[in-house]
Chain A
Amino acid sequence: MTVEADVLGARQVRGRPIAAKAVGGLRVRRIALGILRPIATFLPVFLIGTFITFLLGALTGLSPAYVQLGEAATPSAVARLNHQWGLDKPFLVRYWEWFSALLHGSLGNSWFDGVPVSELIGQRILISLSVAALALVLGVVFGTLFGTISALKSTSVIDRTITGFLSLISVMPPFTVGILLVAVFAVGLNVLPSAGYIPLSQGFGPWFSHIILPAIALSFEPVAALARQLRAGLVSAYNENYVLGSIVHGLSPRRIFFVHVLRNGAGPALALLGLILPNLLGGAVVTETVFGLAGYGVFASSSALHGDVPAVQGVLVVSIVVVVGFNLVVNVVLNRLVPAAQRGI
């Protein structure tokens, strides 16, 4: 190109050391902000969430006495146990003690049997997270598949079929799907177990066969939500002028899709992932009931019914931490893919 010969020399002569430093600074600033902004957004969530959790517990007026003694709890027994557990201290003192213990990883002891709550949850969280993680993977894989296909073939018969299928799936709550799956696969066909959990250490096959049905049940809503959001995002990205620009530059349709459309169109769907996780954790409660899994969901349920406040608080805190952590990661990835200012944050 004729331009190069006569201009290249000139640029080297004009070389600006200032620009180099500025460029480096720009990069560092971008990466730092990409990580710091999500932290700044989610730290308040963690703080407020844990505060609400503690507040709720304190407001109930429940006491370990009711948990341990039940009907036999006399007012003096209540007072005695409250003092024993430190529940007659002022609110802020209790909050501070609870919160600092939290930061050290301690969730208090169950009123039911005195066992540390973190121990009780720890065993069970693995089960719930296995199911939730598999459900998430299924959701992402099939959501992406359906979303992409229906976007690329938008308004065709395929698109309409997929959209119809998705609206069907999206109205099937996890526990209904779970029950149907048990009826079909466990009872009817007797192919998969209907209840129980086998840890991974005892083999991949058995572990998988126990969590696949609950994971499928949980994955219906994520698949529908992700597929819809991805389709909308991709279709709207295709209508943007930069697609036209890329076409005019002579880039192939394949490249335009994978490099430009997908990146911009998937943003909202990716953000949706962060919202899906709380729903998965919440849905764990019912799926664990349907499938007889000793997860943290049933633990939450039974603790709540017994009035075991620290246990319930522990469950809520764990949920918050998992959700916030996951959202942090999702947002950092989002910032890398799509500049934050574009998303109006």
Chain B
Amino acid sequence: MTDVSTPDAGTPAVSVKGLSIYNHIGEVPAVTDVSFTVHPGEALGIVGESGSGKTITCRALLGILPDLFEVTAGSIELLGRDTEPLTQREWTALRGSVISAVFQDPASFLDPSIPVGHQVAEVLRVKKGLGRRLARERALDLLDAMRIRDPEYVYLQYPFELSGGMLQRILIAAAVASEPRILIADEATTALDVTVQAEILDLLTDLKDRLGLALIVVSHDLAVVSQLCSNVLVLRAGEVVEQGTKGQILFAPQHDYTRMLVDEHHRFGLERFQRRAVVRG
């Protein structure tokens, strides 16, 4: 059950305390009193149905809350730094180099008129100050590290010429290119085939271990979360229903809602993870 790298006890990479966000459009609270921490090398899973507030929480972590959503209480600290007083310019500097993200529907998150390789290289040029040629080399290395064959060829492809799995790898490459300490994967595998899903999840685990990333995996799918994460947070209607280690949530769910989620996933094969955990545990 434990991961390969030992998380260092020390400053958590992400520290959220009592976060509450109000939705002015729908006139309802979107998130109420959410707290969690993620240490480097650790993976936290946030589980919930649509509308549970998982995406809004992620957006708050990235500083990209939509208009008319307002943080009404609590604090967010990234690498020990409070994000509340940050200006736009400071946020721009923070994003990419400290915290980054990949989302669902990878095709729409890439510029359709620029070859994908250039977009990865762009992150390197802007955030790492690399020159053209060096950025291209490094981008090719990244594509290769994402287990893409023929990186030189893929480099020049446009997004519409590539499959969802490929595109997601490229987005992950772009996200880690600037060496962030924190990576958010918001439903990153939801739009992909099952086999591709497994590969991407493997890739993410690999990156987390090798780079010491603090990973936050958001999903409605408990199976995805249990494959990657050591800790789990369950959200419903913006409130924390239950949180704890994977073992606690999966085998000893306290709350009815959590129990219902776990039971539902039984029908889709969650036992595999449970059994393996029992054997190791």
A and B touch in the complex (CB under 8 A): yes
Residues on A facing B (Cβ under 8 Å):
1-4, 7-8, 10-11, 16, 19-20, 22-23, 26-27, 240-242, 244-253, 255, 259-260, 263-264, 337-339, 341-342
Chain B residues closer than 8 Å to A251, beta-carbon distance: 92, 96, 122-123, 126
Interface string of B153-168 (1 = CB under 8 A from A): 1011010100000000
Residues 132-187 (chain B) with a chain A CB within 8 angstroms: 138, 140-142, 144-145, 150-153, 155-156, 158, 160, 171, 174-175, 178-179
Choose one: B64, B151, B210; the contact of A247 (CB below 8 Å).
B64
Given contacts A241-B103, A244-B64, A250-B96, 12 further A-B contacts (CB under 8 A): A1-B179, A3-B145, A19-B150, A23-B155, A27-B156, A241-B108, A242-B112, A244-B103, A244-B109, A248-B96, A259-B122, A342-B160
Given contacts A249-B178, A250-B126, A264-B113, contact A23 B108 (CB under 8 A): no
Q: Which residues of A contact B175 (CB under 8 A)?
A: 248-249
Say how far A260's CB is from chain B's closest CB, in angstroms: 5
Provide a sorted-by-A list of 6 A–B residue pairs whose CB atoms are within 8 angstroms.
A2-B211, A3-B141, A10-B144, A248-B96, A250-B92, A250-B127
Docked pose: A295 CA to B153 CA in angstroms: 53
Check A23–B152 contact: CB distance below 8 A.
Answer: yes
Query: Does A241 contact B109, Cβ atoms closer than 8 Å?
Result: yes
Contact (A339, B153) CB under 8 Å given A249-B175, A250-B94, A250-B96: no
With contacts A241-B108, A245-B109 taken as known, whether A253 is within 8 angstroms of B210 at the C-beta atoms is: no
From the candidates B103, B122, B156, name the one contacting A23 in the complex (CB within 8 A): B156
Q: Is B33's beta carbon under 8 Å from chain A?
A: no
**A7 x B145 contact (CB < 8 A):** yes
Q: B108, A249: Cβ atoms under 8 Å?
A: no
**Chain A-chain B contacts (Cβ-Cβ < 8 Å), number:** 116
Cβ-neighbour of A19 out of B93, B152, B174, B210 (below 8 A): B152
Interchain CB contact (< 8 A) of A264 among B100, B108, B112, B141: B112
Determine if B242 is an interface residue (Cβ-Cβ < 8 Å).
no
Nearest A residue to B95 via CB reads A250
B76 at the binding interface (Cβ < 8 Å): no
Out of A10, A248, A252, A342, name the residue touching B100 (CB < 8 Å): A248
Which of chain B's residues have a CB closer than 8 A to the CB of A264? 111-113
On B, residues with C-beta under 8 Å from A are 62, 64, 88, 92-97, 100-101, 103, 105, 108-114, 122-123, 126-127, 138, 140-142, 144-145, 150-153, 155-156, 158, 160, 171, 174-175, 178-179, 210-211
Report the minimum CB–CB distance from B81 to chain A (whole Å). 15
CB contact between A250 and one of B93, B103, B141, B145 (< 8 Å): that residue: B93
C-alpha gap A248/B55 in the complex (Å): 14
Q: How far is the CA of A247 from the CA of B150 in the complex (A)?
A: 28
Mostly, the B contact residues are helix
Tell me if A's interface is mostly helix, strand, loop or mixed: helix
Q: Which of A19, A26, A241, A248 has the most CB of B within 10 A?
A: A248
Specify the chain B residue showing the minimal Cβ separation from A261. B111
* Residues of chain A lying within 8 A (CB to CB) of residue B178: 249-250
Question: Could you tell me the distance between the alpha carbons of A337 and B151 in the complex, rounded to whole angstroms?
Answer: 23
CA distance A22 to B157 in the complex (A): 12
What is the chain B residue whose CB lies nearest that of A30? B156
Contact B62 A248 (CB under 8 A): yes
The 8 Å CB contact of B138, one of A4, A245, A260, is A4
Instruction: Check B152–A20 contact: CB distance below 8 A.
Output: yes
Chain B nearest CB: distance from A20 CB in Å?
7
Cα of A259 to Cα of B125 in the assembled complex, Å: 13
Nearest B residue (CB) for A252: B92
- On whether A241 and B145 interact (CB within 8 A), knowing A2-B210, A23-B152, A250-B93, the answer reads no
Among the listed B92, B110, B113, B156, which residue makes an inter-chain contact with A338, where contact means beta carbons less than 8 Å apart?
A: B113
A254 and B103 alpha carbons, distance in the complex (Å) = 23
Most chain A beta carbons < 10 A, residue from B97, B110, B140: B110
